[in-house]
Amino acid sequence: MSITLTPAEKELCGLLVKVTDYIQQLDPKQPHLTLRIAGGWVRDKLLGKESHDLDIAVDHMSGYDLAQHVNCYLQTHAQQTSHIAKISSNPERSKHLETATVRVLGQCVDFVHLRSEAYEETSRIPVVRFGTPQEDALRRDITINALFFNIHSQAIEDFTNQGLEDLRRGVVRTPMDPVQTFRDDPLRVLRVLRFASRFGFAIDGETQRALGLDEVKRDLDAKISRERVGIEVEKMAAGPDPLLSIRLILQNGLYANVFRAPPYVQNIGPFEDAGGVTQRVLQVLDNSSILQYLPSPLAVTPETRRMLVLAAFMYPFSQAQVVELKRKQAAGAQVVRDSLKLATADGDNVSALHMKAPRFASLAHGSLQAVARSELGQAIRDAGARWVPALLFAAAKDLHEGRGAEEVERMYGELVRAIAKQGLQEAFREKHIVNGKEAAELLGCRPGPAIKKVLDAIMAWQLANPQGTKEECRRFILETFKAQ
């Protein structure tokens, strides 16, 4: 396995070698520096993928000091320099060491020193000190992320003695004992799953056994912030194989740890449904004719895909409610917000897809010829801008519950065509032809909550009478509500 540098990478490596010589000339007593590109860039280049994730590891000096020397060298040679962004260590965000980020020859580069880490039993926050290349490699999450590219010798360095072979064979394993690795920093549990699904690699047997240990799960619950869990879930949902991601979570008995249920929750469904519905969502998105009937402005975007996958991951909570102080709330939104610490909008999207999909399923299952235009329009308005993903989620749910693919594609294809034929794709944007203030004046009453019933009737009339005028609507209002 070898790495072929792009012209820009060759230029950068050549510059950095000159910088180390320049530093040596400034201080001959300074140990000669060796610079290595570390981690993901090496892995991706060996897999034949381009990468711009340039992390330069340095021995005998901090990353920030090296970045300053790089800028000094560029200045003395009349070349452009950039501001150095000093990113302080932030263990809660998995930043255990200070990093310096700077643009060099047009490329964004992170400089950091080689390090070793020691952990205390109750914390995933390590004690960090300068380390050797081997110590730095062994403290990493998996062997394929522990490879170095020595920019001086142009050699690939595998200080774990397993990374290259694991990359060849498609194996994910920890560099050291997996139980201790996971107990030191349980976030590595989720990273193992994410990288296995990202590359379609197998998890090493010993690593696999450690993933399911009760003490590892307890540490995952106790030591890892929910923000970090949410970030990993987001990356899995947006990754190349979210189905493998959720299956690995389920196979290793980690669903309850990742998607932590709130107290007082009722009616959680089988966890395995998360895998089944995810499979069907991806089937609808990637191998279904339903999408071809969607007008181009409503085409499925990456954000729509992410929304659908997240709703599928959360499907066991689709009927669940949190009951507290006699109040009931949708559990799915609360899990997204509190257990994954994702945006409130993400929780709202998940709940909307779970709640609105049944209405589209009911329309698809029935006779569309008997469905009034106003009923179709109200379904669109009720789901709002989320109506397309809600409809697609309904199709996926039907597949999950056993309906045949041809039947589902026919039913939902006909539903989308009916919506388009009636010109209702943008019905959720339609404004009342007679607004609340005008309706109140017409009926001689004050605007307020009571006028909502009138506005609902106005919209139903508009949807049933797309060519109707404002004057005709006013007459409808008077005929319907004046006697009341």
Q: Give the DSSP per-residue string, 32-101.
A: PP-EEEETHHHHHHHTT-----EEEEESSS-HHHHHHHHHHHHHHTT----PPEEE--BGGGTB-S-EEE
Q: Which residues on adjacent β-strands are paired with residue 250?
A: none
How does residue 297 score in pLDDT terms, banded at 50, 70 and 90? Answer: low
**Residue 231 tokens, joined:** 């970030």
Question: In Å, what is the CA distance from 50 to each residue of 41, 54, 146, 160, 327?
Answer: 8, 11, 18, 24, 52
- The answer on pLDDT for 290 being more than 90 is no
Question: What single-letter amino acid sits at 261?
Answer: A
What is the tens place of the pLDDT at every residue in 114-166? 988 776 666 656 677 788 999 999 999 999 999 999 999 999 999 999 999 99
Taking a C-beta distance cutoff of 8 angstroms, is the pair 111, 119 a contact? no
Nearest to 440 by CA among 479, 483, 481: 481
State how far the Cα of 320 lies from the Cα of 260, in Å rounded to an integer: 13
What is the pLDDT, as a whole number, of residue 94? 43
- The answer on pLDDT for 93 being more than 50 is no
The 8-class DSSP code of residue 299 comes to P
Lowest mean pLDDT across 15-19, 89-93, 260-264: 89-93
**Residue 236 tokens, joined:** 């899995």
What is the pLDDT, as a whole number, of residue 298? 66
What is the pLDDT, as a whole number, of residue 289? 86
- How crowded is residue 462: how many other Cβ atoms within 10 Å of its Cβ? 20
- Torsion angle, alpha carbons of 42, 60, 183, 149, to 10: 10
**Residue 180 tokens, joined:** 């201790």
How does residue 272 score in pLDDT terms, banded at 50, 70 and 90? Answer: very high
Average pLDDT, the chain: 91
How does residue 95 score in pLDDT terms, banded at 50, 70 and 90? Answer: very low
**Counting Cβ atoms within 10 Å, is residue 115 exposed (0-12), middle (13-18) or buried (19+)?**
middle
Helix (H) or strand (E) holding 152: none
Helix (H) or strand (E) holding 155: strand 155-157
Euclidean distance between the first and final Cα of the chain, in Å? 82
Chain centre to alpha carbon of residue 244: 14
φ and ψ at residue 314, rounded to 5 degrees = -95, 10
- The answer on pLDDT for 342 being more than 70 is yes
Q: State the angle between helix axes of 302-313 and 273-287 in degrees (0 to 180), rounded to the nearest 10.
A: 160
Taking a C-beta distance cutoff of 8 angstroms, is the pair 76, 19 a contact? no
State how far the Cα of 171 lies from the Cα of 118, in Å rounded to an integer: 26
Taking a C-beta distance cutoff of 8 angstroms, is the pair 147, 57 a contact? no
Taking a C-beta distance cutoff of 8 angstroms, is the pair 114, 13 a contact? no
**Residue 441 tokens, joined:** 């004046």
Question: What single-letter amino acid sits at 15?
Answer: L
Question: How large a percentage of the chain has pLDDT more than 70?
Answer: 95
Could you give the 3-state DSSP secondary structure of residue 5?
coil
**Residue 135 tokens, joined:** 């110590």
Taking a C-beta distance cutoff of 8 angstroms, is the pair 375, 396 a contact? no
- The answer on pLDDT for 461 being more than 60 is yes
What is the pLDDT, as a whole number, of residue 120? 65
**How many degrees, rounded to 5, is the angle at CA 473 between CA 472 and CA 476?**
90
**Counting Cβ atoms within 10 Å, is residue 273 exposed (0-12), middle (13-18) or buried (19+)?**
middle
**Mean pLDDT for the stretch of residues 432-457:** 89
Chain centre to alpha carbon of residue 413: 29
Taking a C-beta distance cutoff of 8 angstroms, is the pair 318, 268 a contact? no
What is the pLDDT, as a whole number, of residue 296? 67
State how far the Cα of 276 lies from the Cα of 54, in Å rounded to an integer: 38
